Amino acid sequence: MKIKIYIDKKSSIIEVEEGISLKEVLRNMDSSLLKKYAGAWSNERFVDFHTPLREEGEYHLLQLDDSRAFPAMWHTTSHIMAQAVKRLYNVNLAIGPSIEEGFYYDMEKQEPFIEDELNEIAKEMRKIIENDYPLEYQNITKEEARKLFADNKFKLELIDKIQDSSISIYKQGEFIDLCRGPHLFSTGKIKSYRLMSVSGAYWRGDEHRESLQRIYGISYPNEKLIKEYIYRYEEAKKRDHRKLGKKLDLFNVYKEIGPGLVIWHPRGAIIREVIEDYWKKEHIKRGYSIVRTPHIARAELWKISGHFDYYLENMFVFKSDDEEYVVKPMNCPYHILIYKNEKRSYRELPIRLAELGTVYRNERSGVLHGMLRVRGFTQDDAHIFCREDQLTEEIGKAVDFALDMIKTFGYDEYIVHLSVRDPEHKENYAGSDEEWEKAESALISALYKRGIEYKREEGEAIFYGPKIDIFIKDAIGRKWQGPTIQFDFNIPKRFDIKYVGEDGKEHMVYMIHRALLGSLERFVGGLIEHYNGNFPTWLAPVQIAILTVTDEGNELAKEINNELKEENLRVNLDNRNEQLSKKIRDAEIQKIPYMFIIGGKEVKSGTVSVRHHKEGDIGSFTIEEIISRIKEEIKQRR
């Protein structure tokens, strides 16, 4: 077969045998290339130098400082760390993947790791890096793999779950690990690294399984990038929504209620109400009908939808009057029943149904995390029922709506993924080739018309349809799951959803799932961290604090307090018998955007001295002037 190798901007077409590795190809060309480059980029994925080539195509060699090579760098470093740990301690290794930024490795150890032990591991890693062990790829049978990992129950469990008849492993020095890769060429390619922290974890995220120690780490091609990462890491710790949520009294999770079930405190509930009010108005403006559905339904509904067969372990099921019921895990079957309540004509389409619907999923307690991963959450769900000729327009409108929504909440940077089925395993997906091609074409067309770049992710589609995922970047550059626009070829057929066409015949409806915020819990948790608790005025639970200097200002303060409330502004009157400096400090801690300071001078002048949380003192204003300024901020959603 023929491959085209790009070295910088120059290319060479080479005839190779199927199954050869890039390592062998480059050795025949110029072996120094193996030291200079990290791997290759082909067909939107990283290809390391070790694994056999199975397809023709273009292979662009990547430098070590190319961000596309970083996941392979992190994966390689996780193996180096595991090798170092095995040299120093009696542990049972579990898994060690690269993650969004960095890596971790889970391992079973009787006593938790302490700081000094992390330092020892880091020193041993340096020895492994200096030895520059080449990583060697091997493909072995399942039987060979079971013998090789006979003393590791975690690896044996993974081997049993692998459907393929062969298993891939990577070896470096004396260390061998069960792994698909990809990796860098050798351990010496790792230049700068840090071990960041240790936490507890459960095998497979299941609290009923083995308790593990998880070591997190990071590596980069140079110290500058490491220092930048550490800054983001420390900043992220300061912004942790769980700490800020407690400090600002926004929400809590109570053990008396159960894990993963969020209670919104008054101030957090105000933020949620403001978001919901904006959400509803925007949906009605854009032609959606708002619906409400119950929290439970007979199990029969979920059997029709397929959830009872494929999603049962994530659902809460109970009996009433000898009949099974399910606590709602999804909103879509309810919306379908609303659509099917009457016969629909082609003239009525599209029909757009939207709901802030609370759902419940039996997530394992080991993966729960504040507001970001919970068991009960409210989805901003919508389902669009349309004809084939309306697909591209409806997708485009959904994309526009999604981008408008995230920009309103201060997210200016985003990344778009187009998730499609695995072309090699079409049998694993619902829907015909024709349906998938139409759906993908509609998604691509909507993005293309808007000049939106996207990354194609083969094999990342849900089994019932392709989708657009929009990932938003927060203030410190972290990526969060944002809006999703997704086709469904499965449920419409299960519920037999149709409309009567212009020809008088029944036709199958195209159904689009669409979420702009995802879950309100996760979205608000992300907002807390994005703004570091410094919410813009329109979202702030308390917009204005009125602070009296002495009792002389109390009457005017009360009058202004009432006037602000009449203007529908959220205000807190602080006329405690405390020093002004303490009142200001308390308002700053609560991150209240505006402070009105009222003393004898203000009583005489009929003005208020105004302090802004981010700017400090901004001068004296008449009450009409400052109200006008604040209301304009709110109108502009700033």
When pLDDT is averaged across residues 580-603 and rounded to a whole number, the result is 95
Residue 340 burial by Cβ neighbours in a 10 Å radius (0-12, 13-18, 19+): middle
Read off the pLDDT of residues 454-487 as tens digits, 9 standing for 90 and up: 998 888 888 888 999 999 999 998 999 999 999 9
Bridge partner list, 231:
none
Q: Which two tokens stand for residue 190?
A: 């790792």
When pLDDT is averaged across residues 10-34 and rounded to a whole number, the result is 85
The strand ranges marked E within 437-509 are 455-458, 467-473, 479-488, 498-500, 506-508
When pLDDT is averaged across residues 290-294 and rounded to a whole number, the result is 97
Rounded Cα gap, residues 216 and 197, in angstroms: 5
Residue 227: DSSP 8-state: H
Rounded Cα gap, residues 595 and 610, in angstroms: 6
Q: What is the pLDDT confidence band of residue 249, given thresholds at 50, 70 and 90?
A: very high
Q: Which residues contact 70 (CB under 8 A, 6 or more apart)?
A: 220
Residues in the chain: 638
Q: What is the pLDDT of residue 323?
A: 94
Q: Which residues contact 155 (CB under 8 A, 6 or more apart)?
A: 93, 145, 149, 178
Q: Which two tokens stand for residue 282?
A: 């925007």
Q: What is the pLDDT confidence band of residue 92, given thresholds at 50, 70 and 90?
A: very high
Bridge partner list, 359:
377
The yes-or-no verdict on residue 409 having pLDDT over 90 is yes
Name the phi and psi angles at 621, rounded to 5: -140, 150
Within its chain, how far is the Cα of 50 from the centroid?
31
Q: Which two tokens stand for residue 301?
A: 């509904």
Name the phi and psi angles at 79, rounded to 5: -70, -40
When pLDDT is averaged across residues 304-323 and rounded to a whole number, the result is 89
Sign of CA dihedral 360, 363, 365, 371: negative
The yes-or-no verdict on residue 536 having pLDDT over 90 is yes
Rounded Cα gap, residues 472 and 411, in angstroms: 6
Q: What is the pLDDT confidence band of residue 219, given thresholds at 50, 70 and 90?
A: very high
Within its chain, how far is the Cα of 164 from the centroid?
30
Q: What is the pLDDT of residue 4?
A: 86
Q: What is the pLDDT of residue 394?
A: 95
The strand ranges marked E within 45-184 are 45-47, 57-63, 92-93, 103-108, 136-141, 166-172, 175-178
Q: What is the pLDDT confidence band of residue 28, given thresholds at 50, 70 and 90?
A: confident
Read off the pLDDT of residues 335-358 as tens digits, 9 standing for 90 and up: 999 999 999 999 999 999 999 999
Measure Cα distances from 142 to 165, 168, 245, 400 in Å: 6, 10, 49, 49
Q: What is the pLDDT confidence band of residue 430, given thresholds at 50, 70 and 90?
A: confident
Rounded Cα gap, residues 424 and 460, in angstroms: 13
When pLDDT is averaged across residues 58-63 and rounded to a whole number, the result is 91
Bridge partner list, 457:
419
Q: Helix (H, G, I), strand (E, B), or coil: what is residue 625?
A: helix
The yes-or-no verdict on residue 30 having pLDDT over 90 is no
Name the phi and psi angles at 183, rounded to 5: -140, 170
Q: How many CA atoms lie within 13 A of 267 on its CB side?
A: 21
Query: Contact at 8 Å (CB) between 484 and 515?
Result: yes
Q: What is the pLDDT of residue 3?
A: 85
Rounded Cα gap, residues 587 and 564, in angstroms: 17
Q: Which residues contact 600 (CB under 8 A, 6 or more apart)?
A: 549, 550, 552, 553
Mean pLDDT of the chain: 93
Q: What is the pLDDT confidence band of residue 212, given thresholds at 50, 70 and 90?
A: very high
Q: What is the pLDDT of residue 465?
A: 87
Q: What is the pLDDT confidence band of residue 87, given thresholds at 50, 70 and 90?
A: very high
Q: How many CA atoms lie within 13 A of 1 on its CB side?
A: 16
The yes-or-no verdict on residue 424 having pLDDT over 80 is no
Q: Residue holding tokens 């292979």? A: 59
Residue 21: DSSP 8-state: B
Closest by CA to 359, choosing from 290, 280, 297, 402, is: 297
The yes-or-no verdict on residue 521 having pLDDT over 90 is yes
Query: Contact at 8 Å (CB) between 540 and 414?
Result: no
Query: Contact at 8 Å (CB) between 325 and 356?
Result: no
When pLDDT is averaged across residues 248-268 and rounded to a whole number, the result is 96
Task: Give the catalytic positions in this structure.
Answer: 332, 361, 379, 381, 383, 467, 513
Q: Which residues contact 406 (CB under 8 A, 6 or more apart)?
A: 414, 470, 472, 482, 483, 516
- Spell out the domains of the chain, with CATH numbers in brackets: 2-61 (3.10.20.30), 69-238 (3.30.980.10), 271-293+331-530 (3.30.930.10), 544-635 (3.40.50.800)
Packed helices 391-408 and 266-285: angle between N→C axes, nearest 10 degrees: 150
Give ∠ CA 557-560-563 in degrees, rounded to 5. 155
Closest by CA to 45, choosing from 57, 34, 33, is: 57
Read off the pLDDT of residues 157-169 as tens digits, 9 standing for 90 and up: 999 988 888 899 9
The yes-or-no verdict on residue 561 having pLDDT over 80 is yes
